[in-house]
Structure 1
Amino acid sequence: MWTLQDAKNRFSAVVDAAIAGHPQEVTRRGKPAVVVLSAAEYHRLVAEAAVRRESFAEHLLAFPGGDVARAQVRPRDVAF
C-alpha cells in the first residue's frame, strides 16, 4: 500500500508492479483512495462484468412480483 505522496514520487515502481500482476493500492490522508492495475487486468474485469450483466428489461422481468400485500389504511378525518 502506497501513500499518495510516495506513489507520486515512485510512480514508475507503482506502474511496474501493477504490470507485473500486483495491483497497487494508494491511500489519501490514510484512507484507501485508488487501485492501480494493469490495462490487461482492467479489460479482463470489464469483459467479465459485461458477460454477467443482464439487460434492464431482464432485470425487471425477474422481479418476483406476484401479489404484493398492501397495508389496509383508512384516511383519518380532517376538519377544515
Structure 2
Amino acid sequence: MEWSLQDAKNQFSKVVQKAREEGPQTVTLRGERAAVVLSARDYDALRAGKPSLVDDLLAGPSWDDEFAEAIVRRAKTPSRSSPL
C-alpha cells in the first residue's frame, strides 16, 4: 500500500500493523516514493546471510609476508625528517 507522508505520520501505528500483516508499505513525499516501512521479519529476511561492514573489513585480502614486513619497516622509520 502507498501512504502520503502526512497520512503515514498521522497513522503510523496502522502503517506498522499493515507492514506486519500485508508486507512493505511505501511512503511518498510530494507524490515521489520516499521510504518503505518493513516488518522486522521482512527486514531480517533481507539481511540474512549478508555480511556486516565489520565482516567485510575483517575479510579483506590477506597480507603476504613481504607486504607485512614492509609495513613493519615503514612503522619504524620516521615519515618526516627531524627539524633539529
TM over 0.5: yes
Partner of 1:29: 30
SS at match of 2:23: coil
TM-score by length of 1: 0.58
| Structure 1 residue runs without a partner (length 5+) | 58-80
* TM-score, normalised via structure 2 length: 0.56
Instruction: List structure 1 runs of 4+ shifted beyond 2 angstroms.
Output: 54-57
Aligned residues: 54
Relative to total residues, which structure has the larger helix share, 1 or 2? 2
* Structure 2: 5+ residue stretches without partners: 62-84
**How many percent of aligned residue pairs carry the same amino acid?**
50
Cα 1:21/1:56, change in 2 over 3 Å: farther
Q: Give the CA deviation at 1:56.
A: 6.2
**Residue equivalent to 1:47:** 48
Take 1:48 and 1:16, find their aligned partners in 2: how far apart are those partners? 26
Aligned to 1:18: 19
